[in-house]
Amino acid sequence: MTFELQNIRTELDESISSGKSNQEAKNATERSIEDILQRLNCEISANNELRAAKSSLEAQLSLTKKELAEVQTECNRLERELQLAECRGNLAESSLASQASPYETAPGSLTELHAIEDQLRADLVAAKDAESAQKTRADQLQELVSKLERMLERFNEQSLSPMKGHSGGAGNSAVGDMLERQNEKLEDKLAAVREQMIVERQAARTANLSLWKVEKQLEEALAEKKLLARRMELTEERVKKAQNERDEAQRKQKSTQDEFRQRDARIDELKAELAASKRDVLKEHRMWEKAEEERMKCKSEIIEHLANIHRLEQQVREVRQKLNQSQQRCDGLGLEQKRLQRELQEERERNAAVGENTQALQAELKQLTDNFQRLKYACSITDNQLTEVENMLEAEQKRNKTQQAQLDACHVKLRERNDQVTQLRKDLNVQESEKRQAEQHAKILGVELEELKENLKQLQMKLISQQSQLVEQTNALFGAQERADQLDVQSASCQAQNADYERELLCLKEENARILSELFHSKEEVLHLHDEVKNLQAVQTGLHTEIDELQNALTEKEQFYVQRDIKAMATLAQHKKLIDYLQLKVEDLSAKKKKTLADKIFGSNSNTKENISPNDVESSILYRALKEELRREQKHSKMLQEQLDQLNGTATLRSPRKSTVVNGAADEPKLRPASIATVPRSPRKQPATIKRSASQTETKANSKSPEKQESKGEVTHHRFELALQESKVDAANCVACEQPIIAGSPYWRCKECKDVSHRKCRANVTSSCGSSVVSSCDEVSEARPESSCSSSLDTMESESNCTDEYKGTLAYNGSQNSHNSEVIEINCAFEIVEQKILLFGCNSGLFTYNVDTQRLLHIAGIESVSCVSVSTRLAKAMMVGANGEKLYQCDYRQLESRCQSTIPCNKPVLETSVIELPFANRSVSEKWKLVQISNESENALDSVAIAATSTRIVILKYDHKLHKFKPVRALDTATPVTSIFYTRHSAIVSSDKFYEIDLDNYAAEEFVDLADKTLQHTSNCQPFVAVRISRQEFLLCFAECGIFVDEFGCRSRPYDLSWVYAPTGFLYREPFLYVAHYQYVQIMRIHRSYSKEMANAEGGDSSEIQRAYLPHYMPTLLTSSGERNIYTLSIDKQAGYQQVYHLDALRAFKKKLNVSMETISSVATSITLGSAMTTDSL
């Protein structure tokens, strides 16, 4: 039988080995097939990539052709402008030639202009000399006239004296006539001299005017020459760049064509290999089928042999079981007594343990009752159940007490008897020892033998009595054993009851543990809330300190600008005084002419004189220069006032009832517009007079009378100070217009009576301090025109109170979604699949979130992620982790597969590698803040990444041999970098300024062209981010405003963007710009080109930028979604949890501004392929 079993086992082993070999061959063939299929898939994917690269290169070639055509058109346009400039120059030359100064060319006329200037100056000197000579002659004539007048007076005195006779009357009259004729001749000469002086003054004036005109024309010609030279240089550079790009595109096209040919040859080879491998697979499949048939036959034989083996094993087991049973019976009979004794002792120990357990249970029951009494207030819902449980416990306690009393009595009796037996045994042992000692020392203690004998006798008597007692005790012991058996039965029943009680107690313990855990969690939540409250209080105190500091800075700036305004007004007053002084001087010079004899006789009429200019002062060059300087000072003071308004935040929000500009209202005083001023003022937004509503005009007109009354009597005035409305809750109403203060806007608040007023309504406040003027809201609402615009922030506030407002689609709620009962804190995000799967970088690691199933899955391998950047072309991802200590790099395809894992029990692990930066020399406090990978390079292997800390940036270049990024250059920054934006050949980094880094030689320079005077105010602004609007235009977002510039940093649009509120973040998805504020997310529609915007404005469309406001508390713009949408992170005000919303700009504009979807989406559908390729991916 054993031989048969051995044969069967050998056959079984052979069949198993043959089956294993067949299985291994099958697995080898499957692996080879899978390898071949993988190679084929790789080659097919490479072929597809080459085709895609070919299509992209063709698209780039077409784009380069288009750009070349655009450059050619630009060259033609510049040539036309050059021709126009030449025509203008020729016209200027002709105009100068008409003024007796012929010019042929601008450079050649400089010497002639200098000569003409010298000639005109010489003429002016000669005219001044002639004028001085004429003045001396006039003075001499004046002296002669005065002498003649004195002689005439003396003659009159002589003629009037009575001493003279009548005889000399005829002679005196003849002398008088002669003197009068001489006087008339002298007056005629004086008038001729004066006329000649006037003519010479007019000639000097015309000479000065011609000289000034010539200088102006010369300056204009030189400026046009410089401008044309600059434009020619730019066009030449653009043409060279376009030619270089075209050559590069042609070279790349040739290289791609060669690669295509090689790939096609490789594909043919792979097809041949695939056909051969298919034939091999078919052969191996046939062999596998044969081996499978043989394996099935072997398997059937093995099953039969196994059945025989199983039958034989069962027989062996039966025989062995019989032997074991007989041996067990023998052993059991031998060990039954010992077992019974052990069981008896175990039962005794169990009884003792049960007693201890009951005591412990009683103590626990007392503790539980105390805990129940303490938790009665917190667990009011379970009071009835607990009372019932307590009643049941009390009944069971009574039963346990009675039974425990019986058990204790039995145990006391058993213990007493056991103590007696042990005591007797001890006495016997002692006596035996004493007996032995006595026998050993019998010879030595002979003297004491008698005493010992007596003692021995006594002891023997005692022993006899004790033996009798021992017999009685043994009888009692047998009776006790019988009773113990009975008690064992009772203890078994008690144990069963105790088991039931233990189960009930376990249930109670579990319930109590649940209640305690809920109480503990509630305490933890309360402590967490207390910590949050403390943190918020600390933040609030910090914000209050910042507000105080900012208010102090504002007061200092106000004082500075007030002093500056006072100085400007002083200078204006000095200029006015100088003008008045000059006018008085001129009038004095004209009034110094003394009356002549003819004036005295016939009277003088200076107004009827000819060839005298009636307004010599106004036509003088000095007066015009002073007037021009006055105008410049007024403009400068106006600009300073606007800057002061912007810095102090005094410019209020736009009124929701703004009316149109009325023609012919130039005589009315210009009112300050209600929008926040931008510096410089946009030329397309001309200052317009605003119609006030009826209520405002009435209050303004009525405000004059109380001022007069206040001047008469003593009235307490308001002591206003600037304040900021933080939220919509408890918003006060304006005392002038009875309208609520908008959240986030500055307003005036009285220090004494706490009355509030809009900035625009401060002049209309008529009430005194301590008294409130109540006005009807209905009157104010009726006074407003119904046809006013509703796109301002006030209407936005009213619309935000509606229940059906659009604030975005809730994608993630932190209160419902948590990991291991711990709420995660999201730092950044990236969209893996559009509107389906999101990747969250959190303080506790990486998490993937499925929007449809709302399932959160943790990806192990990295912790505390604060920034994520992905390059899909390179299939790489970079992250800032370990609380900013390390830079990680991983494979994006692996990350994507981990994010798309659908098995909840599987914990995906991401394989990452730390990027070593040997020359960074970072300190302990210097953490990594930001990292960004470029997606603008033509070849993915030439990609560049920039990582930033608080004091420097590190440029990394991709090494295709090591398949990782390596550092190549480090640059220091003055302030932490807030954004990184890539162009084709450079990177724009925002620090204290916008810097452009050349990615070829890693040289950095300031991006904004400060030579443009309209961009000089940006040197004091705080940069945020740069975005691409079109291929050749960028938007630079500052904290104060937004500026459109071209690729050279020059202004491309003549106006700036205003944010209305203080921004905290920007994200651009063409054509919408998302701006994050403290309590809102603003969406602005921006035209892709300025020409299109002007065309829309001329076509009747509104030239104002369309805006929509979505209410979100402390929002953070996370990542883009699709072509035009984004994800934003906000905080729930009440619970404090994080929430992620999906914002759709088209729906927001439709809800907020009541604009049709077709109107808005027409902008998006007009995006060309070139604009889509050049759109910035933040």
* 547-558 per-position pLDDT tens digit: 888 888 888 777
CA distance 490 to 476: 20
Tell me: pLDDT of 839 over 90: yes
Q: What is the DSSP letter of 675?
A: S
**Whose structure tokens read 């597809």?**
48
Task: List the chain domain ranges.
Answer: 720-757
The reply to whether omega before 1071 is within 30° of 0 (cis) is yes
> Do residues 889 and 874 make contact, with C-beta atoms less than 8 angstroms apart?
no
In percent, how much of the chain has pLDDT > 70?
A: 76
What is the pLDDT averaged over residues 222-240?
Answer: 82
Pairing of strands 928-933, 944-949: antiparallel
- pLDDT tens-place string over residues 1064-1089: 999 999 889 999 998 889 999 998 87
Average model confidence (pLDDT) for the chain? 75
**CB crowding 913-942: b at 16 or more within 10 Å, else e:** eebebeeeebeeeebbbbbbbbbbbeebee
Which residue has better confidence, 513 or 708? 513
Answer with the residue of higher pLDDT: 974 or 696.
974
Q: Regarding beta strands 746-750 and 756-757, do their DSSP bridges make them parallel or antiparallel, or are they unpaired?
A: antiparallel
**According to the model, what pLDDT value does residue 636 have?**
76
pLDDT band of residue 437 (cuts 50, 70, 90) is: confident
Task: Tell me the percentage of the chain whose pLDDT exceeds 90.
Answer: 13
**Least confident piece of the model among 377-381, 402-406, 476-480, 640-644:** 377-381
- 692 versus 140: the higher-pLDDT residue is 140
Cα angle: 410, vertex 413, 418; to 5 degrees: 125
| Cβ burial, residue 823 (10 Å; 0-12/13-18/19+) | middle
Q: Are the C-beta atoms of residues 278 and 32 closer than 8 Å to each other?
A: no
Length in residues, the chain: 1178
Listed ranges 52-66, 169-183, 351-365; the one with the highest mean pLDDT: 351-365
Q: Which of 185-199, 599-613, 1013-1027, 1091-1105 has the highest mean pLDDT?
A: 1013-1027
* Window from 387-401, 601-615, 973-987 with minimum mean pLDDT: 601-615
621 phi/psi in degrees, rounded to 5: -70, -40
Model confidence pLDDT, tens digit, residues 314-327: 888 887 888 778 77
pLDDT band at 944 (very low <50, low <70, confident <90, very high): very high
Distance between CA 132 and CA 130 in Å, rounded? 5
- Asked if pLDDT for residue 684 goes beyond 60, the answer is no
Specify burial of residue 1026 (Cβ count, 10 A radius: 0-12, 13-18, 19+): buried
Greater model confidence, 359 or 793: 359
Whole-number Å distance between alpha carbons of 287 and 317:
43
Q: Which residues pair with 746 in a beta bridge?
A: 724
Angle between helix 169-374 and 621-648 (nearest 10): 10
List, edge to edge, every strand of the sheet that includes 876-881: 867-871, 876-881, 886-891, 912-914
Alpha carbon 780 to chain centroid, angstroms: 39
> Which SS3 state, helix, strand or coil, does residue 683 take?
coil
Question: What's the confidence (pLDDT) of residue 842?
Answer: 93
Q: How many CB atoms lie within 10 A of CB 697?
A: 13
pLDDT score of 956 more than 90: yes
DSSP 23-88: HHHHHHHHHHHHHHHHHHHHHHHHHHHHHHHHHHHHHHHHHHHHHHHHHHHHHHHHHHHHHHHHHH
Q: Does residue 706 register a pLDDT over 70?
A: no
* Cis amide bond preceding 740, omega within 30: no
Residue 887: beta bridge partners?
880
- 704 or 870: which leads in pLDDT: 870
Q: What's the average model confidence in pLDDT over 496-513?
A: 82
At residue 1068, what are phi and psi to the nearest 5 degrees? Answer: -115, 125
Find, among 1176, 931, 929, the residue nearest to 1029 by Cα. 1176
CA angle in degrees (0–180, nearest 5) for 759-763-764 = 100
Residue predicted with more confidence, 599 or 756: 756
Contact 814, 786 (CB under 8 A): no
Any idea what the Cα angle at residue 232 is, between residues 73 and 1043, rounded to 5°? Answer: 80
Chain centre distance of CA 27: 55
Burial of 699 (0-12, 13-18, 19+ CB in 10 A): buried
Average pLDDT over residues 734-738: 83
If you average pLDDT over each of 236-250, 700-714, 799-813, which comes out highest? 236-250
The answer to whether the beta carbons of residues 836 and 852 sit under 8 Å apart is yes
Compute how many other C-beta atoms are within 10 angstroms of the C-beta atom of residue 1127. Answer: 25
pLDDT confidence band for 1033 (50 / 70 / 90):
very high
Quick one: pLDDT at residue 1143?
A: 94
Task: Read off the tokens for 117.
Answer: 């200037």
For the cut 80, the answer to whether the pLDDT of residue 826 exceeds it is: yes
1036 neighbors 1023 (Cβ within 8 angstroms): yes
Could you say which DSSP state residue 1035 is in? E
Dihedral angle of Cα 782, 786, 789, 791, to the nearest 10 degrees: 70
C-beta of residue 192 within 8 angstroms of C-beta of residue 138: no
Q: What are the tokens at 1068? A: 């651009």
Burial of 46 (0-12, 13-18, 19+ CB in 10 A): middle
**∠ at Cα 347 (342, 351), nearest 5°?**
150
What is the rounded distance in angstroms from the CA atom of residue 937 to the CA atom of residue 931? 17
